[in-house]
Amino acid sequence: MNSLKIEGTTFTPEINFDIDNNTLSFLKVSKPANAIEFYQPVFEFLDNFEKEKVKAKVVNQLIVDFNFDYFNTATAKVLYELLAKFKRIKKQGVDIIIKWFYHEEDEDLLEEGQMMAEAVGLDFKFITLPESN
């Protein structure tokens, strides 16, 4: 199984799934014209990850880094679906570590992460980034 890398653009995030380290990261901005279509490769990759690594019991941890500067409502809906998938993987014995990065002046992004954590019942580690200049 190879890693997944999607290059970021002005409207879409950089996404990296480092299969060797079991780390999935989302970086920068997410406001694609069609969020469901854009994130489809991530869902497919997670399905394969679950079949090949989780069910085979060859992975015991998955680290997910959400490091967005901004995401739109359509992306938020997709993130809830991803979080539900992570919760299902956790129920199969995989420790899911979710890190939610936010700039200290961006209370909205922090609150969005807190609401997501509460809604899906997963623990998030909230990490403050220094104020941007």
Residue ranges making up the domain that contains 86: 4-129
Q: What is the number of domains present in the chain? A: 1
For 120-132, the pLDDT digits (tens) are: 999 999 999 987 6
Pairing of strands 14-18, 4-6: antiparallel
According to DSSP, the residues that pair with 27 across neighbouring strands are 14, 67
CA-atom Rg of the chain in angstroms: 14
In the block, tokens 């653009």 appear at: 9
Pairing of strands 14-18, 95-103: unpaired
Q: Residue 50 sits in a domain of what CATH number?
A: 3.30.750.24
State the average pLDDT over residues 40-53.
96
Q: Is the pLDDT of residue 43 over 60?
A: yes
pLDDT at site 132: 63
List C-alpha distances in Å: 58 to 22, 24, 47. Answer: 11, 17, 15
For 65-93, the pLDDT digits (tens) are: 999 999 999 999 999 999 999 999 999 99
